Chain A
């Protein structure tokens, strides 16, 4: 069961709640042990752990395996449109490019896109939302109206438009997607900050004369870190899928660049004729998105043991 079992074989857990309202040093101690607690809960979340192992294997395969493999992406071999074999485990395409090498390259670039999106959107969105939540008033409404502006429109439509203007290379696609996801993050982090703002220990810190910067850096960010982390993982999955959809519509990463989305959308006609072109990149997308979702789920459970509330 993935219930939060009171850890049997380890030492008693320090009580985090007691420390929080207290002075700063005690708070720091409590925070670390809370992190340990979270980590332990996460390690016990079997689906998340399996997913983490699988994901690490995929990443290793993409970055290390790609270097060791006897074909490089872009190599044109004499074997045109071959089904999977020992030499070409994922088969080849019409020009004779080894699909195993191509899929690994696509995985690398898709992961690069997704991670860049997640990091960029998280940093921008968190700062955005924290500022709004912390200062409130006019700053809040200005920043949140800006978020509304972006959230009003279907993501994929705006992404397609932006990508049509700027797109083609993977990092530009990443920037486009990140800009559009940042307001989502900003809403979440604003909510977290708003709820934390009223907590007693913030008031205590304020009463002790801490500056705004200090309160944000020392108290708000660490406490909001949990939800931010969960969001970050989900963003990775969302970004991969959005990039795939954009590629299908013709607005994603363009050749000569590549991505899993581009590979699978180029292979959409190949489903019945050269299925290896269709299934392998698709499976990689699913495996990456699925494992990341499970990891996010595990993180969420670990951070919030009482209820597994799904945040959008």
Chain B
């Protein structure tokens, strides 16, 4: 008798616990401010100006906290160790730079620092920067040519071979960098034309204070340059040439910034404090936002994250098409995949729209297949070079016909190459734990099966090792598109490029890419790059799938925060951020 009561009581308690938990789960914020939109409603049409709040509608003071997904291990974003997305975003309010990438993904001059930056001669190719006279570091020292020179010495490969830079291109082409006009005019002379000259000294390789670097060693010697390079990497900055300066750095916990009193820019910061709070597990971010422990998120979107954010009242989110794009790659060192017909057939059988619907399409209805290897749709020059090839269409009949025409047998059952050898199972790899890529692989295996090709899916813990050693037949991963496409194309596609993992060789395409990167005429360069892309596409080496979206989420009372999909990220305009006086 007592037993039964005890048992039923225990059961009731357990049930109650679960109901409680379920209730805890259900209590979202309802549908007000739901979905995309809210303060970001016009971001799709005007990415650079949405969520705008003029200065007089922002209160003076207040704290805004951004969830940063990585710790800052190295403060020098030019170094290969410091070249980390979140380090770039957290230090953006501290460093001066020539050009940055706006939310519309256009390269834009930093008018706080520069009065002008122009190509002043085509032969020799010369760029002249005019620095604003009022631009100073926070100790009062002018920002000047010396700062450009230090940056250049780090990266040109000659003055500091020991400097472990992230490998930004173009600096080796600068043969001389001369200051005049009290250091406020900087003239760069190039050994040959460089189409992407705006990337130099830009926001991904910004300026560091040479006068502080000089305290570490003689900047006219490689050792001194290297000492400065390491100093800026290991020391949390107390210097600043941007709207904010560091108040406090707690390793692994948070970076606290306060306004730089010597800030020379047009827009004075409204906030008292800007905090980058380090939350390394992105799954914890929405709850922190809901609990108002952070106000700004810039995470990788994911289906639950997006719908979780939708449930939070007074929070807006917006997804933008980003610079990262996913793709299937073949390894041409596999002798079967060396045959173009097999590659074409496999890519033709791939249904990219279905892949999108089953993965990223779940939280973003706007994602479409990407149809160019060289440009993304936001960049001038994007054109569809893939649809015409039939690749990515999921047209299995067409794929089968390609194989039959090329002399393959066993199409749709067990494929046999024209020379009579059966096509073995192909090894397809993806990064361990990446569920989206797992799904992409499974879907690819399904398409290949329809042609009679078996796919063995396996994971890799180290994408870098796997790709550089060529330990795959098919692989799926993402490239980050450079905002400067011409230099980017050289890095990714040239026959001898280190990033050409599948060893695609095409001298004609190499020549077009090199010509495009060294052109003085942007229209000509763009046309040549598209010609190169047509060759690349026709050869079915890499199939672009889609652009990965980026996601920004913000409490509705924070003004001027925008989703910038470029590497400049969420913090490209922190001097404008502020708390709205009324909403």
User: CB atoms of A and B under 8 A apart anywhere in the complex?
Assistant: yes
Which residues in A have some Cβ–Cβ distance to B below 8 Å? Answer: 1-2, 46-47, 74, 76, 80-81, 94-96, 168, 250, 254-256, 266, 268-275, 278-279
Q: Given contacts A250-B433, A255-B438, A256-B438, are A76 and B358 in contact (CB under 8 A)? A: yes
In the assembled complex, the Cα of A47 lies from the Cα of B311 at a distance in Å of: 41
A76: B residues at CB distance < 8 A = 358, 442-443, 446
Contact between B307 and A273, CB atoms less than 8 A apart: yes
Chain B's closest residue to A47 (CB) is: B7
7 examples of A-B residue contacts, CB within 8 angstroms: A94-B359, A256-B457, A256-B459, A266-B435, A274-B303, A275-B26, A279-B22
A47: B residues at CB distance < 8 A = 7
B305 close to chain A: CB less than 8 A: yes
In the assembled complex, the Cα of A168 lies from the Cα of B443 at a distance in Å of: 21
Contact between A271 and B457, CB atoms less than 8 A apart: no
Contact between B459 and A255, CB atoms less than 8 A apart: yes
A272: B residues at CB distance < 8 A = 25-26, 28, 308, 311
Q: Is the interface of A mostly helix, strand, loop or mixed?
A: loop
Contact between A275 and B359, CB atoms less than 8 A apart: no
B234 close to chain A: CB less than 8 A: no
Chain B's closest residue to A46 (CB) is: B3
In the assembled complex, the Cα of A80 lies from the Cα of B322 at a distance in Å of: 24
Other-chain contact of B25, A2, A74, A94, A275 (Cβ < 8 Å) = A275
Chain A's closest residue to B357 (CB) is: A80
Contact between B304 and A273, CB atoms less than 8 A apart: yes
Q: Given contacts A81-B362, A168-B432, are A254 and B304 in contact (CB under 8 A)? A: no
Which 7 A-B residue pairings sit nearest by Cβ, starting from the closest?
A: A269-B304, A273-B307, A270-B304, A273-B304, A255-B438, A269-B283, A95-B358
Contact between A254 and B25, CB atoms less than 8 A apart: no
Which chain B residues numbered 425 to 467 have a C-beta less than 8 Å away from chain A? 432-433, 435, 438-439, 442-443, 446, 457, 459
How many chain B residues sit at the interface, stated as a range, is 20 to 34
Q: Given contacts A273-B308, A275-B22, are A80 and B438 in contact (CB under 8 A)? A: no
Contact between B433 and A269, CB atoms less than 8 A apart: no
In the assembled complex, the Cα of A262 lies from the Cα of B391 at a distance in Å of: 35
Contact between A255 and B302, CB atoms less than 8 A apart: no
In the assembled complex, the Cα of A76 lies from the Cα of B435 at a distance in Å of: 14
B302: A residues at CB distance < 8 A = 269
B303: A residues at CB distance < 8 A = 81, 94, 273-274
A-facing mask of B94-116, CB < 8 A → 1, else 0?
00000000000000000000000
Contact between B25 and A96, CB atoms less than 8 A apart: no
Which chain B residues numbered 368 to 426 have a C-beta less than 8 Å away from chain A? none
B26: A residues at CB distance < 8 A = 272, 275
| Known interface pairs A95-B358, A254-B433; 15 further A-B residue pairs with C-beta atoms within 8 A, sorted by A's residue number | A1-B3, A74-B442, A76-B358, A76-B442, A76-B446, A94-B358, A94-B359, A255-B433, A266-B435, A268-B283, A269-B308, A272-B308, A275-B22, A278-B25, A279-B22
In the assembled complex, the Cα of A255 lies from the Cα of B358 at a distance in Å of: 17
A113 to chain B, nearest CB (A): 18
In the assembled complex, the Cα of A59 lies from the Cα of B554 at a distance in Å of: 47
Contact between A95 and B439, CB atoms less than 8 A apart: yes
In the assembled complex, the Cα of A7 lies from the Cα of B202 at a distance in Å of: 87
Which chain B residues numbered 446 to 493 have a C-beta less than 8 Å away from chain A? 446, 457, 459
In the assembled complex, the Cα of A270 lies from the Cα of B286 at a distance in Å of: 11
B22: A residues at CB distance < 8 A = 275, 279
A41 to chain B, nearest CB (A): 16
In the assembled complex, the Cα of A275 lies from the Cα of B22 at a distance in Å of: 8
A43 to chain B, nearest CB (A): 15
A278: B residues at CB distance < 8 A = 25
Contact between B25 and A271, CB atoms less than 8 A apart: yes
A50 to chain B, nearest CB (A): 8
Contact between B358 and A96, CB atoms less than 8 A apart: yes
Contact between A254 and B457, CB atoms less than 8 A apart: no
Chain B's closest residue to A262 (CB) is: B433
B526 to chain A, nearest CB (A): 37
In the assembled complex, the Cα of A275 lies from the Cα of B19 at a distance in Å of: 12
In the assembled complex, the Cα of A273 lies from the Cα of B3 at a distance in Å of: 39
B443: A residues at CB distance < 8 A = 76
B160 to chain A, nearest CB (A): 36
A90 to chain B, nearest CB (A): 15
B432: A residues at CB distance < 8 A = 168, 254-255
A130 to chain B, nearest CB (A): 38
B446: A residues at CB distance < 8 A = 76
A73 to chain B, nearest CB (A): 12
B311: A residues at CB distance < 8 A = 272-273
Other-chain contact of A255, B286, B308, B435 (Cβ < 8 Å) = B435
In the assembled complex, the Cα of A268 lies from the Cα of B282 at a distance in Å of: 11
A4 to chain B, nearest CB (A): 15
B442: A residues at CB distance < 8 A = 74, 76, 95, 256
In the assembled complex, the Cα of A254 lies from the Cα of B433 at a distance in Å of: 6
In the assembled complex, the Cα of A197 lies from the Cα of B155 at a distance in Å of: 75
In the assembled complex, the Cα of A250 lies from the Cα of B457 at a distance in Å of: 19
B362: A residues at CB distance < 8 A = 80-81, 94
